[in-house]
A and B are shown apart, each in its own frame.
Chain A
Amino acid sequence: MGLKLAGALLLIVSGLILGDREARRYDARHRDLCAMQHALLMLETYVARTVQPFPRALSSVGLAVRGPAGRLMCAVADELMSNPHLTLAQGWTRVLLAVKRGGRAHGFPAYRDDDLQVLGRLFAALGAGGRDDQVSHIRLARETLAINEESARRDLDTYPRLWRYLGAMGGATLALFIV
C-alpha cells in the first residue's frame, strides 16, 4: 500500500511538473519575443547610426541582450564570422538547422515556427541593400514580432493555467487508477 501511495504521489508530482513546464513555455515565448524585439531595435540602431557590418553588429547585440534572443544573435554572428563565404541567409539557415537538430535547442525552446519564419525572412532580406532599405526590413520584422507577442500575451491569460490544471488532473487521474 505504501508503495502504491508513493507511486501515486510520484505520478501527481510528474503531472504537475509536466503541466508547469508547458505553462512556462508560454511565459518564455512572451518574454523571448519582447527580448527579440529589443534586439532588433538595437540592430536597427547599429545599421542606422554606424558602419559596423552585420556580423559584428549581431555579435554586439547578442552580447547586450540576455536570454535566447541574445544567444540566437550570437549564434548567427559566430556562424558568419567563422564562415566568411556565407551570406546572411545561409548563416541563419545553418543556425536554424542546428537548432532543429537539437544541437542548440536547449537555448531557444520558446520560439515557434512562425516566429522563426519572421526572422528567416528578415535575414533573407538583409545584406545586399542600402541603409534605408535594411532599416525598413528590420522595422517590419520587429512589427511582425510585436503582433506575435500580442498573440503570445493573449495566450498567457489562458494556456499556462490550462496546462497546469491538465498536468495536475492527469497526474491525479493516473494516480487514482493505481490506487
Chain B
Amino acid sequence: MSTSSGYVQKTADSVPGFAAYLPERVRRSLSMLDLNTLDALLEVRLRLCRPVILVLEDGERLLGHRGLCRPGEEAICFTREMRDEALQLLTDRSLYAAEEQLKSGYLTVAGGHRVGVVGRAVTSGGTVESIADVSSINLRVARDAKGCSAAVLPRLLGGPLGVYRSLIFSPPGCGKTTLLRDLARRLSDGIGSKKPFRVAIVDERSELAGCYCGVPQRDVGMRTDVLDRVPKAVGIMMVIRAMSPQVIVTDELGRPEDVDAVEECLNAGVALLASAHAGSIEELIRRPALAAMLSRGLFDRYVRLSDRPRVGTVAEILEADEVAEIGKVVQLGPEARRSASVDCQRAHSW
C-alpha cells in the first residue's frame, strides 16, 4: 500500500530563533538573506578557520559578509573568536553546564534545533569525558511538518490497542523522526471524534520532542509525556511504570537490548510506534536486533519511507504477514528472492 503527500513545510519563522546562537558576523549576514533562501536553509556548517557553509535544499553555498557569497566575493571565515562566541551562545553562556550533553556530540537548543559539535575528544577508560578544542559546529535547523502523518495515520489505527504496533524505517534523512513526531501529536491531541491517547515519548537523543530545560520545543501533543535523554531500553520500562501510557513513541531501534524492552512494552498492553534505519525490509531483516523483533512478530505494520521524489514520501506500508513472507524469502537466498518478485515499485508521491 502506498500513500503520498509532500510534507516538508517551510517557514522562515524559525530563522530569528536559531540565528541567535550564531556569532554576530554570521547572524548579520544571515539577516541579509532573502526569505526563499532562508526557507530552503537546512544546516549552517561552521568549521574552524574555514568558510561558513549553508546547506540549502538544492545544495551548499558559502556565506559572504552580505548574504550568500557572490563570485569573487570573500566568504566569512569561522575564526577562533567566533567559535568561542558561538559556544557561549549555544550553551546559554555556560559551556560548563552543557559538558554532559557535549559528551554525546550534540546539543539541543531552544526551538528544538540540533547542534552537532566535534573537536578533540578527551577520553578516559574508553569513554568520552568531554570535547575540547571544538573544530566544527553544525546547526541543523528544526522544522515542523504538521499534518505530514495525515495519509499514513488511518492505516496505523485499529487493533485491540487502538493503534497498531508500527515500525517506520528508511535510510537516514527520509523523515522518520518528523513522521513519528506528527503521529505522536495527532494521537495525543485526538483525531476527529476518536478518543485521544496518552502518549509517552522516549527521546534518547532529544530529536523527537527537542526538549530544552524540560520543555518540548516541538509540538508533540497535549497528552504527551517526554522522557528525555535516556537509553530506549531503560526509558521504555520507566515510562510504562511511571506514566501508564497507551502509546509509546521512540526513535531508532536497533540495539540488542531494545528487543526485550519492545517485547515488554507490548506485553504490557501498550502500543509502540518506533523507527529504524534500513533501506528495505531485506536490510531490516539483516540487522540482528530488528530481525529478532520481526521473527517474534512484535510489529503489526511496517512503514517504509523514501526521499524520492521528496523527503517524507511513504513508499509502502506492509502488514506483519507480508513482512514474514519476505523474511522467509530472504532466508531462502537470492534465487528465491527473485522468484518471489517482491513488489518494490509501489512508491508514489504523497
Q: List the interface of chain A (C-beta within 8 A of B).
A: 47, 50-55, 57, 80, 84-85, 87-88, 91, 126-131, 133-134
Q: Which B positions have Cβ atoms within 8 angstroms of A?
A: 19-21, 24, 27, 84-85, 87-89, 91-97, 99-100, 110, 130
Which A residue's beta carbon lies closest to that of B109? A84
Check A53–B27 contact: CB distance below 8 A. Answer: no
Q: Which of B19, B20, B85, B94 contacts A54 (CB 8 A)?
A: B94
Known: A84-B89, A84-B92, A85-B27. 14 other contacts (CB 8 A): A51-B96, A53-B97, A54-B92, A55-B93, A55-B94, A85-B19, A85-B89, A88-B88, A126-B93, A127-B93, A127-B95, A128-B87, A130-B95, A131-B99
B93→A47 contact, CB < 8 A: no
3 tightest A-B CB contacts, nearest first = A53-B94, A53-B92, A131-B96
Task: Give the residues in chain A near B27, CB-CB below 8 Å.
Answer: 85
Is there an interface contact between B88 and A130, defined as CB atoms closer than 8 Å? no
**Cβ of A54: which chain B residues have Cβ within 8 Å of it?**
92-94, 97
A91–B24 alpha-carbon span in the complex (Å): 14
Whether A129 pairs with B95 at a CB distance below 8 angstroms is: yes
In the assembled complex, the CB of A123 is this many whole angstroms from the nearest CB of chain B, namely: 10
Interface residues of chain A: helix, strand, loop or mixed (majority): loop
Identity of the chain B residue whose Cβ is nearest the Cβ of A50 in the assembled complex: B97
Q: Is the CB of B100 within 8 A of A51?
A: yes
Given contacts A85-B27, A87-B88, contact A130 B93 (CB under 8 A): no
Return chain A residues, CB-CB under 8 Å to B24: 85
In the complex, number of A-B residue pairs with CB atoms less than 8 Å apart: 58
A126 to B87 alpha-carbon distance, docked (Å): 12
Residues of A contacting B99 with CB < 8 Å?
130-131
B110: A residues at CB distance < 8 A: 84
Are A127 and B97 in touch, CB under 8 angstroms? no
The smallest C-beta distance from A79 to any residue of chain B, in angstroms, reads 11
Can you show 5 pairs from A to B with CB atoms below 8 A apart?
A: A51-B100, A80-B93, A85-B27, A128-B87, A131-B99
B13 → A minimal CB distance (Å):
16
CB nearest neighbor in A for B122: A130
The answer to whether residues A53 and B93 also contact, given A128-B84, A130-B130, A131-B99 and a CB cut-off of 8 A, is yes
Interface centre among A50, A80, A85, A134 (most CB of B within 10 A): A85
In the assembly, what is the distance between CA of A57 and CA of B94, in Å?
A: 10
> How far apart sit A50 and B100, CA to CA, in the bound complex (Å)?
12
Tell whether, in the assembled complex, residue B85 and residue A55 are in contact, meaning their CB atoms are under 8 Å apart. no
B96 touches A55 (CB 8 A): no
B96–A130 contact, CB under 8 A?
yes
B137 shortest CB reach to chain A, Å: 13
- Contact of B96 with A47 in the complex, beta carbons under 8 Å: yes
Chain B residue at smallest Cβ distance from A58: B93
Pick from A50, A53, A57, A129 the residue with the most CB of B within 10 Å.
A53
Give the Cβ gap from B104 to chain A, nearest Cβ, in Å: 15
Known contacts A84-B20, A85-B24, A87-B88; A134 and B96 CB within 8 A of each other: yes
Q: How many angstroms between the C-alpha atoms of A29 and B87 in the bound complex?
A: 35
Which residue of A is nearest B102, CB measured?
A: A130
A54 CA to B84 CA in the complex, in Å? 16
With A and B bound together, what is the CA distance between A133 and B24 in angstroms? 25
- Cross-chain contact B97 with A128 (CB below 8 angstroms): no
- A127 near B94 with CB under 8 A, answer yes
Residues of A within 8 A of B96 (CB): 47, 51, 129-131, 133-134
A83 to B138, CA, bound (A): 23
Q: A173 vs B142: C-alpha distance in the bound complex, in angstroms? A: 74
* Interchain CB contact under 8 A, B89 and A87: yes
A87 touches B93 (CB 8 A): yes
In the assembly, what is the distance between CA of A54 and CA of B93, in Å?
Answer: 6
- In the complex, residue of chain B having the shortest beta-carbon distance to the beta carbon of A132: B96
Q: Chain B's nearest CB lies how many Å from the CB of A134?
A: 5
- Residues from chain B with Cβ under 8 Å of A88 in the complex: 88, 93
Report the Cα distance A130→B95, complex, angstroms. Answer: 6
| B122 vs chain A, min Cβ distance (A) | 10
Tell whether, in the assembled complex, residue A127 and residue B100 are in contact, meaning their CB atoms are under 8 Å apart: no
CA distance in complex: A47, B98 (Å): 12
Given A54-B94, A88-B93 in contact, is the A127-B88 Cβ separation under 8 Å?
Answer: yes
Most buried by A among B27, B94, B97, B130: B94
Shortest distance from the beta carbon of B29 to any chain A beta carbon, whole Å: 14
What CA separation (Å) do A54 and B91 show in the bound complex?
Answer: 10
